[in-house]
Structure formats: C-alpha cells, structure tokens
Amino acid sequence: MNIDIIPCLNDNYSYLIHDEQSNTVVIVDPSEFAPCDKIISKKYKKLNYILNTHHHHDHVGGNAELKKKYNAQIFGFESDDKRIPGIDKLLKDNQEFKVGKLNFITIFIPGHTIGHVAYYLKKEQVVFSGDTLFSMGCGRVFEGTYEQMLNSLKKLKNLPENTKVYCGHEYTHDNLKFCLKFNPNNNALKKKREIIEAKIKHGKPTLPSTIGDEIQMNIFLRYDDPDVKEALNLKKASDLEIFTKLRDLKDNF
C-alpha cells in the first residue's frame, strides 16, 4: 500500500491510497479537485473510491468533479447522507468494508460534527482521523458535545500505539506551542519541537504521527496528567472538566 499526502487549500491534507495488490485507488477527504486530480491523473489515471470523514466543505470540495471524471464511488457515515455531495454508500459505526484488498473499519467519532468518522486499517496500522485527532491537537467542537469529543478521542487513544495517524490539517506547529504552554515539563515535547521545526523549514508535512506519540505529547490525550492539571489549577477536576478547559483555551489561543 502506498499513501500520497496531497496539500490542499491553505492547510488541508487529502490522502491518496494505492492498493498495489488490486491496483485500487482511493482518496480520503478530497478538499479540492485540481491538486487531487493532478496527482491521480499523473500516477494512476483512475480513482475507484472516495472516503469522507465528515461533511465540511474543506473535506468534500473535490467530491463532485472527481466522481464525474472517474466515476468513483463515495463513502461516508449514514447520518451524513444529506450532507456529503454525491454519497453512494452509507456506513455504520464499526462497519468493516473492503476496498480492493484493503480492509477498512469505520470508527464513529462525533464531536467536531455529529457524523464524523475515522477510517482504520488494522493490518496496515493506519488511521485517517479527519478533524477529530490532530498531531498534538484535536478539532473544535462544532456540532457535538465536549463529552462526545472526549469519548471519540479516547476511542482513538485505545488503538495500538504504532498506528500511524493521518489527520486533516497541518496544524502541528501551533498545536505544539499550545501543548508546551500547559504541559511545560514534558521532555518528549521539547525534543519533538526540533523535528517539527526542521520539517516545516524544508516544506515537508509533519505527518503522519503515531498514536504512541500522541499519547506522549498531545495535551488533549493527557487530561489525567498531574502536570497539566497543575498548569490549569484544576488538580481535582474530572477528565471531562480538564478537556473542556483545554478546548476552550485552545479556541482562543
């Protein structure tokens, strides 16, 4: 399996997956037609499937034109059937489905939107997390509740630690600054800063991350860390209270 990272819009990423065994081509969250089509037409000249994590335009903006040009099938969560352009197949939570030789599992992770899903490849140890889990961050809570978002992050946190995380945006550097502010004694974060800054300097994506790295460094997965609680002056607060406070602070960071 090969994954191409396609920069789109200002800071979005779309992901082009080629299953070499079956010569099946899949794209996750095509933000816009032109940059996605450029690499599809250059490398493969075909597109079989489009997988959408949620309905926001910066994740589905290329759907219609790609479907028209390549006759690709569009997959998305069942509750987004009226909101994802051109959707063909409605998926349920924890549904396994096959694309070529790749076995995907749908993970329902509401919070950012009420119909948000991740796509997990267990054998290949890869998850496409959309706008729920970012590298060292998480998405804003637009349609769901803070509790839903926290529970969704816990689902992803429970995946095997070597799982590679491909998320929807290049937010890593700003997220790193926020994590360091409220988790200042985290040595892993300090070491990671040099790696991230070098990648950005050379114009390279900071992704993929891994679940293990996120557990170590992503403050939104470290709601039970005494260092974080002390920084927030909320030593006896619940996981949900800590997460809510962090999300509100990040919204204004």
Please list the active-site residues.
Answer: 54, 56, 58-59, 112, 131, 169
Distance CA 52, CA 50 (A): 7
Distance CA 192, CA 38 (A): 33
Note the helical H segments in 61-204. Answer: 63-70, 146-157, 172-182, 187-201
DSSP string, 85-118: TT--EEE-TT-EEEETTEEEEEEE--SSSTT-EE
183: its two tokens: 């988790």
Element containing residue 247 per DSSP (H, E) = helix 239-251
**β-bridge pairing 133-134 and 24-28:** unpaired
Could you give phi then psi for residue 178, rounded to 5 degrees?
-65, -45
Q: Are 80 and 87 in contact (CB under 8 A)?
A: yes
117: its two tokens: 């899903």
205 cis-preceded (ω within 30 degrees of 0): no
